[in-house]
Structure 1
Amino acid sequence: MPKPVRFVPTSKMAENAARGLDLRAKHGRGGTHVGVARAEQLIAREPLEPKDIKSMYSYFARHAVDKQGRNWADPARPSAGYIAWLLWGGDEGKMWVDEKRKMLD
């Protein structure tokens, strides 16, 4: 029986997710319960399955436009989209997921 394919998130993705949770708590916005659960997975550096990679890939594809939003990464008042982006691993998460998705195709 073949071993299941799993991917371990990077430490930078875990750092971004933790920062996202901190910003969410501080500002009271950003992300959904799904994003929070994803952040917790990334922080724990739990191995992700192909379905998780596909879900993350879809998230980043849908939300790349959020980077054009007002207050993106503003240190004083970060946008909800920025906070959510961090919950999913941030820019490093997007690059990592893009690579892993290619491996799955």
Structure 2
Amino acid sequence: MTNNIKVVQPSDIHKEETYTPTSGMKSAARRALRWKEEGKAKGAGTPVGWGRATDIVAGRSMSLSTVKRMYSFFSRHEVDKKGKDFYNNSNPSNGRIMWDAWGGDAGFSWSRKIVEREKNRAQKAWEGSAFNR
């Protein structure tokens, strides 16, 4: 009698996909950190937002969960673009500073693309599953 047990090697275990910030995101986050150093970010952001800027500038890979949080941030704060001084680079609004801390426009389009791609993958998996019959 043969045993049909497959031995799983460590290399066989699925690793969560990670995502690397783009150069545009790094540039925006670097600008936000510079504005903070210059004292222009009084009252702006949270430790999470400033940590995100630091991670982006360092080029640290991000999990899908983090990318989803970024997309959520941008979706909630897109309205900040209509605020006073959002486009004033010499005296930017706190909304602009934190928009850039999270990766700016490049971060918004990057996170949206990843989230939409993952939603499409999940939908296709559902459509092909036995649960959808």
TM-score by length of 1: 0.94
Aligned residues: 105
- The 4+ residue runs of structure 1 with deviation greater than 4 A are none
Q: Give the corresponding residue for 1:45.
A: 59
Quick one: distance in 1 between partners of 2:16 and 2:71? 19
Which letter maps to 1:6?
T
Asked which structure has the greater CA Rg, the reply is 2
State the percentage of identical aligned residues: 35
Which residue is equivalent to 2:47? 33
Among candidates 110, 114, 122, match of residue 96 of structure 1: 110
Higher RCO (C-alpha 8 Å, min separation 6): 1
2:68 touches 2:115 (CA, 8 Å); kept in 1?
Answer: yes
Unaligned 5+ runs, structure 2: 1-12, 120-133
1:48-87 to structure 2, matched below 5 A, reads: 48-87=62-101
Q: Which protein has the bigger helix share?
A: 1
Separation (CA, whole Å) in 1 of partners of 2:104 and 2:45: 12
Gaps in structure 1 of 5+ consecutive residues: none
Local SS of the residue matching 1:18 = helix
Find the counterpart in structure 2 of residue 9 from structure 1: 21
Q: RMSD in angstroms over aligned alpha carbons?
A: 1.0
| Partners of 2:110 and 2:29 in 1: CA distance | 14
